[in-house]
Amino acid sequence: MIPVLAATSETTATAFTELGAVVLVLAVLARVAGRVGIPAIPLYLLAGLLVGDGGFAAVDVSEGFIELAGQIGVLLLLFTLGLEYTSDELRNGLRTGLPPGAVDAVANFAPGFAAGLLLGWDVTEATLLGGVTWVSSSGIVAKVLTDLRRLGNRETPSILSLLVIEDLAMAVYLPVVGALVARQGAADTALTVVVALVAVAAILLLAMRGGDRLSALLAPASNESLLLAVFGLTLLVAGLAEEVQVSSAIGAFLVGLALSGAVQERTTSLIEPLRDLFAATFFVSFAFAVDAGDLLDVLWVAALLGVVTSATKLVSGWVAAGRLGVAERGRIRAGTALIARGEFSIVIASLGVGLADGPELGAVAAAYVLVTAVLGPVAARFADRLPVHAHLRARARA
């Protein structure tokens, strides 16, 4: 027993040392980003590349722990984003956001799908790459809006509505592409989609109708009890949503949406430090799994797709914010905030891992996400300095 305990102690000590070093590096990067005036996300991603698989200073921290902590970070980012809005604002956003959501889907799916066909891939792989380029990263967008203090901006509800519509659309898209990959029949695919849509409707209804009761139930709780309750509830709802093929991010977002009044304000102050810690872990964990050497051969494809789909996301943000009467500068901020792709893109690409062109699809997706995850926050930071063409200003005034 003694040798086993000694080995366990040594392993634990190594893990603590490496994890502590990584977190301290993240603290330094966050401070540097604050001094320079840019979001810390690109620096977190680059740090993950340096110490992850194939990096210059690879560390042996438990991948399972890092991955789970990163997933929790995404949930907390979306939970705190939900805290910023009321059920009425979401309801109005969904009503006004469907036409921009359709524009967003077509404009951003098409480049990826076309690129897949041009690379000589099968229709299934091309459809997966279309999904990779379509969906913005809710986690990165939420972090950017928080870091740049834009949660209260006029264009932010349009960004939120597009994110929610994209996540809801995944309830249909993921079962469909999953069926394409597995060569399932039409009946099985239709049943999976129906179950997912019913689950989404049920979660939305519970959040909008039962929010006041939930807030009243949590109001008397101490800060410690309240923190544990909302954290546990967020994980529980997210897990149940995932079980029925619905984005766990939607579940977390709707838990935050359900809270109101004093409970909402207390929860915001309690959860923010926890959110920041786990969110930083998410961005590092994503880059951990990427071998920098595998990206070189497909970097040109990812860069070209990044440029094209940055422009198409600008169109999405411009249209969505314009429907709310936002001025041209706010429309550009909305578009740049949506550029980054992340967690969903990686999930979509992973569905094709067993296909003939699956490895190349995975490499392109990883490189593309890294390009947009760096480009998006930087573009959002400098959105107010981007030029607005004269004919766009004329259209905005019209």
Distance CA(96)–CA(323), nearest Å, equals 7
Q: Domain residues for 133?
A: 2-397
CB atoms within 10 A of CB 6: 10
Residue 148 phi/psi, 5° resolution?
-90, 5
| Whole-number pLDDT of residue 43 | 79
pTM over the 0.75 mark: no
> Residue 38 region, left (φ>0) first, then alpha (ψ -120 to 50), else beta?
beta
| Whole-number pLDDT of residue 136 | 92
- Which positions ≥6 away from 398 have C-beta within 8 Å? none
- Cβ(316)–Cβ(332) under 8 Å? no
What single-letter amino acid sits at 192? T
Distance CA(386)–CA(117), nearest Å, equals 33
Distance CA(392)–CA(350), nearest Å, equals 39
Q: Is the dihedral of CA 62, 64, 68, 73 positive or negative?
A: positive
Domain of residue 154, CATH code:
1.20.1530.20
| Whole-number pLDDT of residue 390 | 47
Give, in order, the Cα–Cα distances in Å from 262 to each of 65, 91, 220: 34, 22, 10
With CA atoms as reference, report the closest residue to 255 among 25, 85, 33, 59. Answer: 85
- Cβ(78)–Cβ(258) under 8 Å? no
| Whole-number pLDDT of residue 8 | 58
| Whole-number pLDDT of residue 134 | 94
- Cβ(367)–Cβ(301) under 8 Å? yes
Distance CA(322)–CA(339), nearest Å, equals 17
- Cβ(94)–Cβ(164) under 8 Å? yes
| Whole-number pLDDT of residue 61 | 62
- Cβ(261)–Cβ(211) under 8 Å? no
Report the length, in residues, of the chain: 398
Number of domains in the chain: 1
| Whole-number pLDDT of residue 16 | 78
Give, in order, the Cα–Cα distances in Å from 209 to each of 213, 254, 257, 265, 313: 9, 11, 11, 20, 33
Tens-binned pLDDT, residue by residue, of the chain (398 aa): 444 444 456 677 777 777 787 788 889 988 887 787 666 777 787 777 777 665 555 566 666 677 788 788 878 887 887 787 666 766 776 777 788 999 999 999 999 999 999 999 988 899 999 999 999 988 788 888 888 888 888 888 889 888 888 877 876 787 777 777 777 666 776 777 777 777 777 777 777 777 778 888 888 889 999 999 999 999 998 888 877 766 677 778 778 878 877 888 899 889 988 888 888 887 777 677 666 677 788 889 999 999 999 999 999 999 999 888 888 889 999 999 999 987 678 778 877 777 877 778 888 888 898 889 889 988 998 888 766 654 445 444 54
Q: Rg (Cα) of the chain, in Å, rounded?
A: 21
Distance CA(19)–CA(286), nearest Å, equals 16
- Which positions ≥6 away from 217 have C-beta within 8 Å? none
